[in-house]
A and B are shown apart, each in its own frame.
Chain A
């Protein structure tokens, strides 16, 4: 077991995502309590007191984001749930969308009340088919039951939700790119300031929160910030939906209480590494977080301070466990091909830099690398840092520098000997069944 459960606290059955089952678990009672007995500010205060951090990757305090918006300042505000889950290794929001869509919708209604939002959105990635159908069906059920629409529970509060499907762009998972996409344009991120909570969707104050972040809200308001804070650590209260994949025996989505021992999670809860292999490396939270070696990982606990201290971060909770024998050069090649493919092309350092890095790593793998290539990759990474509108350029650089810092010998070996130091495989025995 991986500690306390806040979101995955019900058994998944064939009907557990339906409105009837959600109601049987107390669904939409919190919304009624909020609309009939709380002021918008009370909700924001409770969420601020809970210390809830954003679960999309940046770990920004949720209450502080909301508090920028004044619910009664006379202008329209918007809420957008970010369900554009595209960071490689991450598939946790999909669990919420497929199994707890009403929890997300109820939380969105409560959040909309807190920030004075009349029209809310869910931006879901275009490839998610079942999650979309589950969520749209849940929204239709909720409309039918009167939880969305005009004068909800007979109060003055009205709210709509629009489930907006993306169409295959990684950059639209970045909050401002997401809003540009909802405006019906190519998903170019925007310069900050102004913050999105000041000028967001169609220049209106907008809160963009990750799906899992929002899924925490109903519980916090129902059971109180104090109960929430009993989970996790002082600096990282609550839990994280960790999606673990790669060379482990039991990949999947686990709700992990912050502060849980990482080695115990990997070797006991996830059944250890495939074929009893040693853990060579761990990408902790999506490929844009810095890679750690098996030795780095051993003493860590699953919380922000522990991972920050190790020179990486929790990111989006998308953990990739890499077994001994995996070629790190070819793995970085896959990652750089991805970043090159997904660069939106708006900022020169990223548009050009991703292409250069991709071509350099291709050249190394083709046996045509030169010793300076390693320094070139680092120099391009550093040139990207802080010079692009969104964080993608930075992230690709951090990932590259991280790989080279931890596994430099493999890059040097390939350049010198024109072949992989470890055989060049990305798989370990037992991962592919003919």
Chain B
């Protein structure tokens, strides 16, 4: 039994209260998100425990995990730098932002630094085009980025 799932069960029970009876399947995404917040990724034992708790097919949970890009089955760096490279961000310097981060961290997009501090990714539109270019660090948006702001940001992420 996944200790994380047992520990989070009271929270899951709270979520159920705002749903109609029989909507257990609707808890798959909210539960997985909460588990990932705790562990950093979703482990096999979490899936087994969640399947038992919600009474949904294991295949459904596996499909959800592989379909949605925000879910992870493996740990990543402590700080996840996600550079938007969609239309508006590209028009306002996303390529420079990505270049700078790759140079400073000595990794390419999709990789993690050897000390496990940073993972660098590119992502599609974050819905923040008015303040492009945007870099999302874990859950937080950093908007209207410049070279100097990126350097200061890296410095602040210990």
Which residues of A come within 8 Å of B, CB atoms?
76, 85-91, 94, 118-119, 125-130, 160-162, 164-170, 181-187, 202, 243-247, 251-253, 283, 287, 318, 320, 322, 326, 331, 334-335, 338, 341-342, 344, 426-427, 431-434
Contact of B26 among A182, A244, A318, A338 (CB under 8 A): A182
- A338 to B124, alpha carbons, bound, how many Å? 7
Q: List 21 A-B contacts (CB under 8 A).
A: A88-B86, A91-B127, A126-B33, A128-B127, A167-B64, A169-B68, A183-B25, A183-B26, A184-B60, A185-B63, A186-B64, A243-B130, A245-B130, A246-B88, A283-B87, A320-B88, A342-B124, A426-B91, A431-B93, A432-B97, A434-B147
CB-nearest residue of chain B to A133:
B139
A167-B69, A427-B92 as given contacts; A89 in contact with B87, CB under 8 Å: yes
- A208 to B33, alpha carbons, bound, how many Å? 24
A164-B30, A244-B130, A342-B124 as given contacts; A331 in contact with B87, CB under 8 Å: yes
**Interchain CB contact under 8 A, B60 and A433:** no
**Interchain CB contact under 8 A, B147 and A88:** no
Which residues of the partner chain B approach A341 to less than 8 Å between Cβ atoms? 124
Does chain A have a CB within 8 A of B29?
yes
| Interface pairs A-B: 4 shortest CB-CB | A432-B93, A167-B68, A245-B129, A186-B67
A167-B33, A168-B69, A431-B92 as given contacts; A127 in contact with B126, CB under 8 Å: yes
A-B contacts besides A127-B70, A427-B91, A432-B133, 7 pairs, CB < 8 Å: A88-B87, A183-B26, A186-B64, A243-B130, A338-B86, A344-B67, A433-B147
Which residues of the partner chain A approach B18 to less than 8 Å between Cβ atoms? 119, 160-162
CB-nearest residue of chain A to B87:
A88
A119-B20, A160-B18, A245-B130 as given contacts; A89 in contact with B28, CB under 8 Å: no
**Interchain CB contact under 8 A, B130 and A86:** no
> How far in angstroms is the closest Cβ of chain B from A259?
23
- A186 to B28, alpha carbons, bound, how many Å? 11
CB-nearest residue of chain B to A83:
B127
Task: Give the interface size class of chain B.
Answer: 35 or more
- A222 to B94, alpha carbons, bound, how many Å? 44
- A243 to B23, alpha carbons, bound, how many Å? 36
CB-nearest residue of chain A to B17:
A160
**Interchain CB contact under 8 A, A165 and B30:** yes
Does chain A have a CB within 8 A of B27?
yes
Which residues of the partner chain A approach B147 to less than 8 Å between Cβ atoms? 432-434
**Interchain CB contact under 8 A, B69 and A184:** no
Does chain A have a CB within 8 A of B148?
yes
Does chain A have a CB within 8 A of B140?
yes
- A162 to B18, alpha carbons, bound, how many Å? 6
Interface set, chain B 82-125, CB cutoff 8 A to A: 85-88, 90-93, 95-97, 123-125
> How far in angstroms is the closest Cβ of chain B from A169?
6
CB-nearest residue of chain B to A251:
B130
**Interchain CB contact under 8 A, A184 and B91:** no
**Interchain CB contact under 8 A, B64 and A184:** yes
Does chain A have a CB within 8 A of B56?
yes
Contact with A along B7-34 (1 / 0, CB 8 A): 0000000010011100101111110110
Does chain A have a CB within 8 A of B71?
yes
A253-B130, A342-B124, A432-B146 as given contacts; A246 in contact with B91, CB under 8 Å: yes
Contact with A along B36-60 (1 / 0, CB 8 A): 0000000000000000000010001
Which residues of the partner chain B approach A246 to less than 8 Å between Cβ atoms? 87-88, 91-92, 129
Which residues of the partner chain B approach A426 to less than 8 Å between Cβ atoms? 90-91, 95
Contact of A434 among B70, B96, B136 (CB under 8 A): B96
Residue from B18, B32, B33, B70 whose CB has the most chain A CB atoms within 10 Å? B18
**Interchain CB contact under 8 A, A184 and B29:** yes
Which residues of the partner chain B approach A252 to less than 8 Å between Cβ atoms? 130
Residue from A76, A118, A246, A253 whose CB has the most chain B CB atoms within 10 Å? A246
- A168 to B68, alpha carbons, bound, how many Å? 5
**Interchain CB contact under 8 A, A129 and B91:** no
A169-B67, A427-B92 as given contacts; A86 in contact with B125, CB under 8 Å: yes
- A326 to B87, alpha carbons, bound, how many Å? 12
- A427 to B15, alpha carbons, bound, how many Å? 45
**Interchain CB contact under 8 A, B29 and A165:** yes
CB-nearest residue of chain B to A338:
B124
